[in-house]
């Protein structure tokens, strides 16, 4: 196991505390009205130190999304090896979303000022997911398929999530819509006028 010293534990704790404070303040006052100074003060941390952890207030706020994306990749890697890629992804999403904080997620997804940073988070996770897919299939991470599959699948999940957050929270509906989208990707996206 990875033996973590006090130092690393404190760092993780500080990072988590900043992330939670940022989100809490955003929920209370609205994303736009929270400043780094407030986040730092509320966490009892110097402003300068905040910037040692996050390069912007937006990054701190979408850190929750980043954590969920990491969890998704972890779940995916834990799926049985003989399971097809898209099905494994579908199940991974279901497991992660089951324990997700819908209220916070809705706040983050609906804030226009967080859109660029949120998308950047997904984009960086694309790489990790592509590697996981390549591992699963015994391909090279440089192949086209893992890259495209990771990127498009994540994007499809994002679309589903955004649509789902616009309706009353219903986890059964989310599962259903996830399956529908995965079905689309699996069956092929080509269409023409009937």
Partner DNA sequence: ATGCATCGATGCATACTGTGCAAGTTGACT
Partner DNA sequence: AGTCAACTTGCACAGTATGCATCGATGCAT
In this chain, which of 46, 98, 119, 173 binds DNA, going by CB under 7 A?
46
- Residues at the interface with a copy of itself (CB under 8 A): 81-87, 115-117, 119-120, 122-123, 136-138, 144-145, 147-149, 151-153, 155-156, 158-160, 163, 177, 180-181, 184-193
Contact segment (CB under 7 A) with DNA among 32-40, 63-71, 100-108, 135-143 equals 32-40
**Which among DNA, a copy of itself, none contacts residue 98 (Cβ within 5 to 8 A by kind)?**
none
Cβ nearer to DNA, comparing 14 with 155: 14
DSSP string, 92-112: HHHHHHHT--HHHHHHHHH-G
- Range 100-105, long-range pairs (CB < 8 A, 24+ positions): 100/68, 101/64, 102/165, 102/169, 103/27, 104/23, 104/27, 104/64, 105/64, 105/65, 105/68, 105/161, 105/165
Structure tokens of 137? 């299939």
| Contacting residues toward DNA, per CB under 7 A | 5-8, 10-11, 14, 35-37, 45-49, 51-53, 55-58
């Amino acid at each position: 196991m990875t033996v973590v010293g006090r130092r690393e534990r404190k760092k993780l704790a500080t990072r988590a505390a900043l992330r939670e404070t940022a989100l809490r303040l955003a929920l209370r006052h609205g994303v736009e009205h929270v400043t780094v100074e407030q986040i730092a003060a509320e966490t009892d941390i110097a402003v300068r130190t905040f910037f040692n952890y996050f390069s912007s207030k937006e990054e701190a706020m979408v850190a929750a999304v980043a954590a969920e994306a990491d969890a998704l990749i972890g779940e995916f890697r834990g799926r049985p090896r003989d399971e097809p890629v898209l099905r494994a992804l579908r199940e991974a999403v279901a497991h992660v979303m089951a324990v997700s904080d819908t209220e916070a997620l809705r706040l983050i997804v609906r804030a226009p000022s967080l859109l660029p940073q949120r998308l950047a988070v997904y984009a960086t996770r694309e790489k990790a997911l592509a590697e996981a897919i390549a591992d699963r299939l015994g391909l090279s991470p440089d192949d086209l398929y893992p890259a495209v599959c990771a990127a498009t699948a994540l994007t499809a999940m994002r679309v589903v999530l955004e649509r789902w957050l616009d309706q009353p929270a219903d986890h059964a509906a989310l599962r259903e819509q996830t399956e529908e989208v995965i079905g689309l990707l699996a069956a092929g996206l080509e269409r023409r006028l009937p």
